[in-house]
Structure 1
């Protein structure tokens, strides 16, 4: 009698399974999803997804690195589940999800900084926000025009991509409407910006700070060789070196570095899936340790409990 019941039960479940052509939904510990991210966050996203897959071997992430707008478009058109970006969705972008009855989610995970890098031969390592404004207004064109300047030649502004978050952030910060009269050069990646600056003493490069801020990562140390990271002051007339700040962790967290920006994860997930599991790990679990290790400031620091015994 028992064996007959088990056979009938198996047949019923088999028939139900045959009638369902949909693949099983992913969940926080297993499945496969696509993530899109701005290329300036490549070291950060790579380490976070690798760490999560190390905890859950059946969790698989295909990460696509694109300029920020292209990455967001991938999510809007259902080609990616999550996006790592420096901004929230614009009203028209949110409308795309609303039309599909997708609520979506936005989670701030960190504070990042755009680092200004120069060739090691260039000792002009201090600059003010007012001077940067004049550079992007076209009033300052030469290194020698800077207050602390002793480098000769024109200032060449180097970015990773025409549509990158680095370029968009800087143009918005300095209210630049037209770049036609600026000496701007774009490459294809943050790494190429680093290589260009290393070879050109007159270059001023703009990169995501996580590319060079992980002191435990050999690649990060290698990329930072033969470069200087500029100190930036928000004061119009700084009088001492302490008035300048670099885009490293404490100055990001204490909001002293002027060219700081938020890091968000944007999601279109409609069920408790793998994307939500990754977000919880990053925002509320040990993922914040990785954010801190990369030199960024996590939104929610990871609590360490230390027991002291006699």
Structure 2
């Protein structure tokens, strides 16, 4: 009898395996493992969103790969990642890669982010206009003393996290700059290294994703912000006062006053109702927007709060 039961169990197991054709089960919104690619400037955002989701669904696992934006998108296109967190949607050429594989794909705007301009605490020139920034990137302004109110005479060193980062690409596209060979640009390996470099170099002007320093409840934010200033940026050529300058924090991002704001997208190649869709829905339809608020960014879909008033 015991041998019969063992034989029967083996037979049933074989039937289930044959029915599945040996293929692994697809992930679903609450279970599975997927790879996410993201530009390193979004690391605090991606880390908190995925950690919160895994806290709700312990069987949901995310392998996060941080790469410059173009590389992150390519990983998604090559099916080496299910989702890419980016500042833009796909180009026609990139979409053609998905079309060739008959994958529709999706692009969901999650939030509004900003590129923060940071300077050393000893540099008291904390206000700049968009036209002055353009002149810096076009090579017309090379020295801090050329800026109104410049407090030092050193050359301006522009500091970015990577040669192909979304921060650099965004700024160059904003000002229509195609040649950087004559600019004093220094690149590190991460947004955190940009912060460290600016802290140690009074003549540096750093560019980072604002979510690295905008979470007031995170101890790391206080640590990273130490001995730094965040510059106020004015869209006006001739601002008349401090009120014409804006910083890349929540209200000025949401009210679209900060000129170096940018969207955050989740680009997905998912072809079934899976874990990627579950994460994106959590961000735009559930409490994920509260995490975006906490990080100091502006969510695309505000979290709805119901308040019952009683007499």
The corresponding residue for 1:167 is 168
Separation in structure 1 between the aligned mates of residue 159 and residue 9 of structure 2, nearest angstrom = 66
1:218-297 correspondence to structure 2 within 5 Å: 218-297=219-298
Separation in structure 2 between the aligned mates of residue 238 and residue 61 of structure 1, nearest angstrom = 46
The corresponding residue for 2:15 is 15
Separation in structure 2 between the aligned mates of residue 164 and residue 175 of structure 1, nearest angstrom = 16
Separation in structure 2 between the aligned mates of residue 85 and residue 246 of structure 1, nearest angstrom = 22
**1:37-78 deviation per Cα after TM superposition (whole angstroms, max 9, x unaligned):** 000000000000000000000000000111000100100111
1:94-243 correspondence to structure 2 within 5 Å: 94-243=95-244
Does structure 2 conserve the Cα–Cα contact (< 8 Å) formed by 1:75 and 1:83? Answer: yes
1:2-151 correspondence to structure 2 within 5 Å: 11=11, 14-18=14-18, 20-151=21-152
Q: Which moved more, 1:144-153 or 1:122-131?
A: 144-153
Aligned-CA RMSD value: 1.5
TM-score by structure 1 length? Answer: 0.96
Deviation, 1:13, is 6.4
Separation in structure 2 between the aligned mates of residue 65 and residue 111 of structure 1, nearest angstrom = 20
Equivalent position SS for 1:280: helix
Does structure 2 conserve the Cα–Cα contact (< 8 Å) formed by 1:38 and 1:165? Answer: yes
**1:205-229 deviation per Cα after TM superposition (whole angstroms, max 9, x unaligned):** 0000000000100111100110000
Separation in structure 1 between the aligned mates of residue 198 and residue 61 of structure 2, nearest angstrom = 36
Equivalent position SS for 1:157: strand
**1:244-263 deviation per Cα after TM superposition (whole angstroms, max 9, x unaligned):** 00000000010100000000
Structure 2 stretches of 5 or more lacking a match? none
Moved over 3 A (4+): 7-14
Does structure 2 conserve the Cα–Cα contact (< 8 Å) formed by 1:111 and 1:298? Answer: yes
Equivalent position SS for 1:247: coil
TM-score by structure 2 length? Answer: 0.95
Equivalent position SS for 1:113: strand
Give the count of matched residue pairs.
305
Deviation, 1:15, is 1.1
The corresponding residue for 1:308 is 309
Does structure 2 conserve the Cα–Cα contact (< 8 Å) formed by 1:127 and 1:148? Answer: no
Deviation, 1:9, is 10
Deviation, 1:306, is 2.0
